[in-house]
Amino acid sequence: MADFFLQALGQVGSPVVLALITIGVLFGIIGGCIPGFTVTMAILVVFPFTFAMDPVSGVSLMVGVFVGGYSGGLVSGIMLGIPGTPSSITTVYDGYPMAQKGEPGRALGIGVAASFIGTLISVAVLVFFGPLIASYSMKFRPWEITSLIVFALTLVAGLSNGAMLKGLLAAVLGLLITTVGYDRNSNLRFDFDLPVLGSGFEILPVMIGIFAFSQLMGNLEKLRDDKSDIKEVNTDVSIPYRQILVDMSRQKINTLRSSLIGSLVGALPGTGGTVANFISYDQAKKMSRHPERFGTGTPDGIVASEASNSAVAGGAFVPTMALGIPGDLPMAIMMGVLILHGITPGPLMFEQNPVLVGAIYASLLIGAVVMVLSQLLLVRWFAKISLIPQQVLVPVVLMLCAVGAFALNNNLFDVWVLFIFGVLGYLLWKAEVPLTPLILGVVLGDNMERQLFRALELDGSWLTFLTRPLSALFLALAVVSLIFSLYQNRKIRLHTLETKGGDA
Amino acid sequence: MNDASRQARSPSDRARQVETRAKAMGHIVLNVILAILFIFLFLRAGSLPSSVWEPLGSGTFPRMVLAALVLFNGLIIATETRHFIAMPALPAKALSDWCYQHRLAFGVLGLFALFVLAVPIVGFRWASLPFLVTCQYLLGARHLRGILIAIAVALVMSFGIEALFRDVFTISLPRGLWN
Asked if pLDDT for residue A503 goes beyond 50, the answer is no
The runs of H, that is alpha helices, within A386-468 are 390-409, 412-430, 436-458, 464-467
In order of A37, A95, B21, B100, B138, the CA distances from B103 in angstroms are 21, 36, 21, 5, 10
Cβ neighbours around A290 below 10 Å, total: 10
Chain B residues closer than 8 Å to A411 by CB: none
What is residue A504's predicted lDDT score, i.e. its pLDDT?
43
Over residues A391-405, the mean pLDDT reads: 90
Q: pLDDT tens, A174-190? A: 999 999 998 887 888 88
State whether A504 and B13 contact (CB < 8 Å). Answer: yes
Contacts of A428 (CB under 8 A, 6+ apart): A170, A210, A214, A435, A438, B30
How far is the alpha carbon of B69 from chain A, nearest alpha carbon, in Å? 6
Chain A hits for B55, Cβ within 8 Å: 453, 456-457, 460
pLDDT category of residue A499 using cuts at 50, 70 and 90: low
Higher pLDDT, A130 or A475: A475
**Does position A415 have pLDDT exceeding 60, yes or no?**
yes
Contact status, residue A42 vs residue A334, Cβ threshold 8 Å: no
Beta bridge partners of A190: none
Nearest to A389 by CA among A222, A261, A501, A260: A222
CA A2/CA A7 separation, integer angstroms: 9
Question: Each residue of A185-219: pLDDT tens digit?
Answer: 788 888 888 888 888 888 888 988 998 898 888 88
Q: Which residues of chain A lie closer than 8 angstroms to B108, CB-CB? A: 216-217, 220, 394-395, 398
Sign of CA dihedral A165, A170, A175, A177: positive
The more confident residue out of B152 and A50 is: B152
Closest C-alpha among A78, A81, A62 to residue A115: A78
Q: Do A217 and B79 touch (CB under 8 A)?
A: no
User: A485 pLDDT band (50/70/90 cuts)?
Assistant: confident
Interface test with B, best of A27, A176, A432 (most B CBs within 10 A): A176
Q: How many CB atoms lie within 10 A of CB A48?
A: 24
DSSP state of B2: -
A132 touches chain B (CB under 8 A): no
A36, A100, A133, A150, A184 from A325: Cα distances, Å: 26, 42, 12, 11, 22
Say what the pTM is. Answer: 0.83
- Taking 90 as the threshold, does the pLDDT of residue A52 lie above it? no
Confidence of residue A272 (pLDDT cuts 50, 70, 90): low
| Alpha carbons A418 and A401: distance in angstroms, whole number | 8
Is residue A180 within 8 A of residue A200, CB to CB? The reply is yes
Is the pLDDT score of A416 beyond 80? yes
What pLDDT is stored for residue A1 in this prediction? Answer: 61
Tell me which DSSP letter residue A188 carries. Answer: E
Say yes or no to pLDDT of A78 above 70: yes
Name the β-bridge partners of A181: A189
3-state helix, strand, coil in chain A (%, to 5): 80, 0, 20
Beta bridge partners of A188: A182
Q: In chain A, which residues have their Cβ closer than 8 Å to the Cβ of B113?
A: 419
Cβ count near B44 (within 10 Å):
16
More confident residue, B8 or A301: A301
CB A344 within 8 A of CB A153: no
DSSP 8-state secondary structure symbol assigned to residue A189: E
* Cβ A128 vs Cβ A119: under 8 Å: no
pLDDT at A231 over 70: no
pLDDT at position A226, please? 55
**Range picked from A229-238, A416-425, A477-486, B42-51 for highest mean pLDDT:** A416-425
pLDDT for res A113: 93
The ipTM assigned to this model is 0.90
User: Is A171 within 8 Å of A156 (Cβ atoms)?
Assistant: yes
Residues making up chain A, counted from first to last? 504
Helices (H), A47-193: 55-79, 89-100, 104-137, 142-158, 164-177
pLDDT at A229 over 60: no
pLDDT digits 0-9 by tens, B61-74: 999 999 999 999 99
Highest mean pLDDT, choosing among A6-10, A85-89, A289-293, B127-131: B127-131
Residue A189 and residue B58: Cβ atoms within 8 Å?
Answer: yes
Task: Count how many pairs of residues, chain A against chain B, have C-beta atoms within 8 Å.
Answer: 164
What's phi and psi for B64, nearest 5 deg? Answer: -60, -45
What's the pLDDT at A228?
47
Mean pLDDT, chain A, rounded, equals 85
Distance from CA of residue A109 to its chain's centroid?
24
Q: Which residues of A touch B12 (CB under 8 A)?
A: 503
Interface of A with B in 194-233 (CB under 8 A): 213, 216-217, 220-221, 223-224
Q: Please classify residue B23 by burial: count the beta carbons closer than 10 Å to its beta carbon, then call 0-12 exposed, 13-18 middle and 19+ buried.
A: middle
Give how far B110 is from chain A: nearest CA, Å: 10
How many separate helices (H) and strands (E) can be counted in chain B? 7, 0
> Could you give the CA distance from residue B78 to residue B71 in angstroms, rounded to a whole number?
11
Calculate helix-pair angle for A15-33, A38-46, nearest 10 degrees: 140
Predicted confidence band at A224 (pLDDT cuts at 50, 70, 90)? low
Lowest-pLDDT range of A64-73, A144-153, A397-406, B129-138: A64-73
Do A185 and B51 count as a contact with CB atoms less than 8 A apart?
yes
Mean pLDDT across the stretch A244-269? 88
